[in-house]
Structure 1
Amino acid sequence: EVPQPRSFINGMRTILSNFKDICDSLNRDPRHVLKFFSGEMATAATMQRNRAIFQGKFNNDTFERLIQRYIKEFVVCPVCTRPDTKIVKDRRFLFLVCEACGARSSISTL
């Protein structure tokens, strides 16, 4: 179960305080998730300890939508629809390898 995003706005920045917990529940590298989020939001982002800091003002709904899109693209197996996957790099390509059914699907690079 993915925890609800907890964010707050500080000036012109939005801080996602439980970013590391979200990444851990997805079993994904925080750098990959951060790169996806910043690309989709078209803004700069950094990580400090367990939190992510985004330039601009964003609400929790934005983060919830992004998490759902990330799960659909980079977590759930397109063959058996289970979340038991890992991202494997083979040369220049990224693959989503399912640990449940063994499927290997190519995914887009960020």
Structure 2
Amino acid sequence: MTLKIIAPQNFGMEEEAPLPTPPQDSGSAPEPQPEGAAADEVAAMFDLSKKKKKKKKKKKDDDEQGDDAPSAASSGSKCTYTYDELLERINDILHDKNPELSEKRRQTIKPPQMMRIGTRKTVWTNFQEICKSMKRNPEHVFQFVVSELGTEGSIDGKQQLVLRGRLYPKYIESLLRKYIVEYVTCQMCRAANTTLTRDQVSRLFFVHCQDCGSSRCVAQIRAGFHAQTRAERRALRK
């Protein structure tokens, strides 16, 4: 036997209107968005535009800080440089402002030209020209050559050096190299642009470099071994 439940019916009573259901929190139904002036008021209320601008400003500030970082490092007081970096910067500045100082000039000197006179004498024909290229007094070069060779010589009217004995150009060339190392070349920068002066007080010779400004004292020329001839011995006996 089955039972049926019959819902009660309203006899003569009006049906009540259904109550409005509260809004659900589910995200399925989209919320209505204000339009026009209402949208502007909502944006002003929650300051949405300000939030967006704040993000852009922060990014811009980060970019400015990143740009200022190398400038602060280059300017500043907290940055340190190594010796090699400072030396490279100095060389770059010198090369930009004074390119002549950074480039080495090579000075060439003609080889000595020798000519024989008879069987006992030799003439150095371009002696005066070589002295001018070295910027040295011919008398000083003459004293050096005579003392190193241990012979006699003189400078004739044509400014040629006349030496006693048979001398070959290669031997004079090696002697000239020795003079350049001792009395011409600067020992600091290896330049040949130097001057030779004599101090009036100490009577010493000094080599002054025109490129780097250094100076050094050089030894005086001393006479070498000199063999006396028969004529000199006879003169001493008298």
TM-score in same-fold range (> 0.5): yes
Residue matched to 2:173:
64
Give the distance between the partners of 1:50 and 1:18, measured in 2 at CA. Answer: 9
CA displacement 1:26-60 (0-9 Å, x = unmatched): 11100000100001000111001221000111000
The answer to whether the Cα contact below 8 Å between 1:82 and 1:100 also exists between their aligned partners in 2 is: yes
Residue aligned with 1:88, SS: strand
CA displacement 1:1-47 (0-9 Å, x = unmatched): 11111101212001001100111111110000010000100011100
Residue matched to 1:44:
152
Give the distance between the partners of 2:136 and 2:211, measured in 1 at CA. Answer: 17
Give the gaps of 5 or more residues in structure 2.
1-107, 222-238
In structure 2, what residue type is equivalent to 1:67?
L
Matched, 1:96 2:207: yes
Matched, 1:31 2:142: no
Give the distance between the partners of 1:52 and 1:79, measured in 2 at CA. Answer: 32
Residue matched to 1:22:
130
Percent same amino acid at aligned positions?
Answer: 27
1:80 to 189, 196, 205: 189
1:4 to 102, 108, 111: 111
Give the distance between the partners of 1:5 and 1:87, measured in 2 at CA. Answer: 22
In structure 2, what residue type is equivalent to 1:96?
V
Give the distance between the partners of 1:20 and 1:107, measured in 2 at CA. Answer: 22
Give the distance between the partners of 1:82 and 1:5, measured in 2 at CA. Answer: 21
TM-score, reference length from structure 1? 0.96
Residue aligned with 1:95, SS: strand
In structure 1, what residue type is equivalent to 2:185?
V
Residue aligned with 2:115, SS: strand
Q: Which has the higher contact order (CA 8 A, sep 6+)?
A: 1
TM-score, reference length from structure 2? 0.45
When you count helix as a share of all residues, which structure comes out higher? 2
Q: CA RMSD in A?
A: 0.8
The answer to whether the Cα contact below 8 Å between 1:21 and 1:50 also exists between their aligned partners in 2 is: no
Give the gaps of 5 or more residues in structure 1.
none
